[in-house]
């Protein structure tokens, strides 16, 4: 029987900082391209829509609250005392049906930082956790994305104040 190509939730494994996070039941990745409408005098409609930037990548992961495995463990939400030494990390969504030793991720989000986290506690339902991350760039099976050209050096010249 041929391998199915449709990805379902049961196939997706979410890794944060190279650690499998088994509590997540949902992971949404949102990429936004900024645009600007170019309006000219004498026209009612834009003459062109110009692409101006790629915004930060928003990632939302939600799942079950598991006692003994709080948000600061695998989902990598930093504690207050760890903020000064916090290092951004990579989130990868892997197809668990791909059994190769180094599978190509379905999606990889680089330089992620958690921005919000919340937990709810319910009387007649499972407790839930929801964590939002922001990353700099994402890529999928089509290959990595990268900046073209060179990135300007923002280091001030020596001797300047």
**Where exactly are the structural domains of the chain?**
9-140
Burial class (CB in 10 A: 0-12, 13-18, 19+), 24: buried
The fraction of the chain above a pLDDT of 90, given in percent, is 40
Fold of 9-140: Pnp Oxidase; Chain A (2.30.110)
Q: pLDDT digits over 67-103, tens only?
A: 777 777 778 888 899 999 999 999 999 888 877 788 7
Q: Length of the chain in residues, anyone?
A: 161
Among 17-21, 31-35, 50-54, 86-90, the minimum mean pLDDT is found in 17-21
**What is d(CA 122, CA 130) in angstroms, rounded to the nearest whole number?**
14
> What pLDDT is attached to residue 159?
67
Q: Is the Cα torsion angle 115, 14, 54, 135 positive or negative in sign?
A: positive
Q: Name the average pLDDT for the chain.
A: 85
- Where do the DSSP E strands lie in 77-155? 89-95, 107-120, 128-135, 137-140
> What pLDDT is attached to residue 161?
57
Q: Give whole-number Cα distances, 115 to 77, 88, 127, 134, in Å.
A: 8, 12, 20, 7
Residue 155, pLDDT above cutoff 70: no
Confidence of residue 142 (pLDDT cuts 50, 70, 90): confident
**What is d(CA 137, CA 55) in angstroms, rounded to the nearest whole number?**
8
Give the pLDDT mean for 96-125.
87
């Amino acid at each position: 029987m041929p391998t199915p190509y449709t990805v379902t939730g049961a196939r997706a494994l979410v890794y944060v900082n190279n650690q499998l996070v088994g509590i997540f039941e949902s992971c949404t990745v949102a990429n936004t391209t900024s645009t600007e409408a170019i309006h000219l005098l004498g026209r009612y409609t834009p003459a062109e829509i110009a692409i101006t930037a790629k915004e930060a990548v928003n990632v939302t992961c939600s799942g079950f609250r598991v006692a003994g495995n709080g948000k600061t463990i695998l989902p990598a939400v930093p504690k207050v005392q760890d903020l000064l030494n916090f290092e951004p990390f990579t989130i990868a969504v892997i197809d668990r049906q791909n059994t190769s030793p180094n599978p190509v991720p379905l999606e990889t989000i680089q330089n992620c930082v958690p921005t919000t986290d919340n937990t709810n506690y319910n009387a007649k339902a499972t407790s839930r956790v929801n964590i939002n991350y922001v990353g700099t760039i994402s890529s999928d099976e089509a290959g990595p994305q990268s900046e073209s050209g060179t990135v300007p050096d923002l280091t001030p010249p020596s001797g300047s104040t």
